[in-house]
């Protein structure tokens, strides 16, 4: 990521650098405001505009995968920038990577494999995670 940004002439400020760190270390597929919150713990005066700005730069450089939602904040995967399937819980908005999936597999089989009650298929799979089904999480 650092090299890709530098190659495009982007100055790596300490804030940007921290943001890259957050993106690479988070498995949670954070939203822009979650990234913002995390960066602000170290650089309290970072603006949300800086975060969005850097997200755009990283997307242009092909270093960041954006997971789009209608009606909810987009989420980002900085660990794997190529497209890959996700398991998405519509209840608690948890997003997990879903690896080695046969896309022709019946949804029922996938449900029993993952524990998700899978209700749909896009490039991503979404539904309700085991925690939500058992009422262990509160709706955000
Ligand atoms: Zn859930
Ligand atoms: Zn992912």
CA of 99 to the centre of ligand 1 (A): 19
Instruction: Give one DSSP letter per residue of 109-124, joined into a string.
Output: HHHHHHS-EEEEESSS
Within a domain: 138: no
| Same domain assignment for residues 30 and 49 | yes
Q: How far is the CA of 14 from the centre of ligand 1 (A)?
A: 34
Report whether 58 contacts 1 (CB < 8 A): yes
Q: Do 66 and 92 belong to one domain?
A: no
Q: Is residue 139, in this structure, part of any structural domain at all?
A: no
> Of 5-9, 20-24, 67-71, which has the strongest mean pLDDT?
20-24
**Average pLDDT of the segment spanning 88-112:** 83
Range of the domain at 104: 86-133
For residues 93-106, give the mean pLDDT.
80
pTM of the model: 0.77
Total structural domains within the chain: 2
Instruction: Report d(CA 128, CA 89) in Å as an integer.
Output: 5
Is residue 80 within 8 A of residue 97, CB to CB? The reply is yes
Which ligand has the minimum distance to the alpha carbon of residue 131?
A: 1
Q: Residue 140: inside a domain, yes or no? A: no
Distances (CA, A) of 140 to 14, 91, 94: 31, 8, 11
* pLDDT tens digit sequence for 20-38: 999 999 999 999 999 999 9
Residue 100 and residue 57 share a domain: no
């Amino acid at each position: 990521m650092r090299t890709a940004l530098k190659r495009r002439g982007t100055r790596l400020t300490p804030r940007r650098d921290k943001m890259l760190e957050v993106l690479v270390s988070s498995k949670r597929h954070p939203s822009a405001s979650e990234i913002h919150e995390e960066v602000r713990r170290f650089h309290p005066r970072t603006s949300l505009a800086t975060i969005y700005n850097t997200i755009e730069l990283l997307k242009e450089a092909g270093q960041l995968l954006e997971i789009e939602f209608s009606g909810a904040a987009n989420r980002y995967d900085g660990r794997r920038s190529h497209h890959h399937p996700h398991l998405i819980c519509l209840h608690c908005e948890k997003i997990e990577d879903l690896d080695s999936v046969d896309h022709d597999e019946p949804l029922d089989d996938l449900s029993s494999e993952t524990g998700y009650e899978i209700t749909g298929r896009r490039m991503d799979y979404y539904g309700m995670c085991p925690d939500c089904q058992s009422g262990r999480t509160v709706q955000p």
